[in-house]
Amino acid sequence: MSKKVLVVDDSPLIHNLIKRAVERSGNIVCGDAKNGKEGLELYRKLLPDVTFMDINMPVMDGLEAASKIREINNAAVIIMLTAVGDEETIKKASALGVNAFLNKPFDDYKLISALANI
Amino acid sequence: MPVNIFEPFVKSLSAIFEEMAGIEVKLESTVNSEYEEIAALGVVSVINFHGKIKGRVLLDMAPNLAITIAQNLMSEQFDDERDSMVLATVSEMNNIICGKAMVPINNELGLKLWMSPPYVFTGTDTMICISKIPSASFIYYTRYGKVKLNIAFEREN
């Protein structure tokens, strides 16, 4: 069964790359948001199976958005996307109980594998 | 500026160009300066940093190089460096270069750096006015045009 995926990232490039890989793998991108605040609103509305969430974004960052999504649905599946994989960032994201990390740059194989392993 | 601050950015640029876009870069020259103005090569992305030190990293590349990278990543044809996807590509590339560089800086030097989301603009020979912080520019040659990495950091007041 295909999964509904929400993409939250401030880069249109990342949106396009994820959309292409997700659709090739037989899943569906049900929505995309360019910051954490928009992502949170779309999460409430769409209730996706998986959310790809960037960390460094304007307005509301991905860590805060992930935390608020957890308040809505403690079982939400969140895959963090990050260019900054330093210990402190990983520690903060792990404390939120995110399901996986995907370091940028990623290729289609890594992204589809992360999606399949959830 | 200490080597252990700018070296991670320099290493990251070469690695990310190869990994993301399949483009080899060769260092052509290095310039240390205190000027407040930089003449742009074409497409420029800037990221600001704060933490125990503050600064900025400017990634500037020739229009043809920016277009080629976007084409390599998206498998689509682009004709104009002002196309939103070309601008997004340069912006995200700078984001990834800086993100990768921040890992050793934060883990090994404990500088607790965080970076702003990138901004991007275009304009060949546009003069970019920047705050007067001593900076180092690394100019690279690629078969599609030049790319410049300008790095500037100073202590937080």
- Please give the average per-residue pLDDT across A87-106, as a whole number: 90
Nearest beta carbon to residue A11 from set B88, B107, B114: B88
Nearest beta carbon to residue B96 from set A12, A57, A83: A83
Residue B1 has pLDDT above 70, yes or no: no
pLDDT of residue A86: 86
- Band (B129; pLDDT cuts 50, 70, 90): low
Residue B90 near residue B145, CB atoms below 8 Å:
no
Residue A56 near residue A85, CB atoms below 8 Å:
no
B120 lies within 8 A of chain A by CB: no
CA distances from B4 to A57, A105, B106 (A): 27, 23, 11
Give the 3-state secondary structure of residue A82.
Answer: strand
Torsion sign (Cα): B33, B35, B39, B41: positive
Nearest CA in chain B to A12: B88
Q: What is the largest CA-CA distance in chain A?
A: 36
**Residue among A8, A13, A23, A106 with most chain B CBs within 10 A, to mutate:** A13
The pLDDT tens digits of the residues spanning A51-81 come to: 999 999 999 999 999 999 999 999 999 999 9
Please count the residue pairs, one from chain A and one from chain B, whose beta carbons lie less than 8 angstroms apart: 57
pLDDT of residue B34: 59
Nearest CA in chain B to A84: B99
CA distance A105 to chain B (A): 7
CA distance B157 to B154: 9
CA distance A87 to B36: 35
